[in-house]
Amino acid sequence: MVAVPEITENSLRSFPKILLHDHLDGGLRPETIISIAKDINYKSLPSYDAKELAKWMLATANQGKLELYLDAFTHTIAVMQTEESLFQVAEECVIDLANDGIVYGEVRFAPELFQQKGLKLEEVVQAVLQGFQSGMKGRSIKVNGILCAMRSDTRSEEIVEVTAKFINLGIVGFDIAGPEIGFPPLMHLNAFDFARENDIPITIHAGEAAGPEFIKEAFSACHASRIGHGVSIRQDITFNNGEASFGKIASELIQRSVPLEICPTSNVHTGIVKLMKNHPVHDFLNNGLSVTINTDNRLMSSTSLTGEFLQCRDSFGWGWKEICDVTDTAITHAFLPQHEKDKLKIRVESWEKDNGISGKD
């Protein structure tokens, strides 16, 4: 009989993981930022030492406010303005995810951010997809892209039309990103309507900095089949002696089986949750909400999917049952055809069997 492995960094890294919420411009290697900055004569980096730059990114992100968290992206975006740099960043992203034991990932990016030197939207997307393809060669991982429109801008209809051009050619979904307060999902309803009419899967950042009403807009009016973050749904749930009572929005979220793309470390850094031990993800999971665990921005939050699961182990006492459950949810709601989901499930179940994890307990 195989002994069930302890939940350690090594065992978690070997576990075949699924990542649904990760930003391309939030996961660069510090060394790559510095190298490209020197090549293009970008002189605004806070440090040209990789370790110091990584520390600065984390310190900037970890200030308890989403708007401050986003400040660090000025530098990553600055070094992603050519096809060559986009290719490199995308290729290294896939390699880094593979090295963390991720077997399927969806990495999102906003092509409009990478036009400072005149690239067309299509050129941005093509360069990233080529980088993804190069990174996947010889590695046991598949990575697809999700295109984001910036919610504070007015180009969402343009971006979703570009999404349609690349759907199933390496792009699998559409999203809006950026500062949430003041920019509700309904501002981009035309783009979401276009996406639904053209069978483009939709995930929407909602309920990160704003309240549950943004979550309601996202899945009810704007056709989202997944919610990015969604932590504020906690405001629509009350607990009495451990029993959960759900408001209308939370009840509908459960009825529709709309999963939350939870990013625990990022949620602490942006101040949505003050302490990891107070994060509601464990209560969500135990009370019928669909939950997945994600990284959001690996550089800014100095994290990995292995690291996120370690946080869940340490803060909530998660065992293999919870880790396998949220992984199964991620596979179920990945923007993939069913036959590819089935292959992923077989792969995960094979690992569980080989490691003596029977019944996921």
CA torsion, ordered 287, 104, 193, 205, to nearest 10 deg: 50
Question: 141: which 2 tokens?
Answer: 């991982």
Catalytic residue among 180, 208, 308, 352: 208
Name residues whose C-beta falls within 8 Å of residue 280's C-beta, 6 or more positions apart in sequence.
231, 234, 237, 273
How many whole angstroms separate alpha carbon 269 and alpha carbon 266?
Answer: 5
Where on the phi/psi map is residue 35: left (φ > 0), alpha (ψ -120 to 50), or beta? Answer: alpha
How many whole angstroms separate alpha carbon 51 and alpha carbon 54?
Answer: 5
Helix (H) or strand (E) holding 23: strand 17-23
Contact, 10 vs 306, CB < 8 A? no
Q: Which of 300, 264, 295, 247 is nearest to 71 (CA)?
A: 300
> Phi, psi (5° rounding) for residue 149?
-100, 145
Residue 208 annotated among the catalytic residues of the structure: yes
Give the residue numbers marked as catalytic.
208
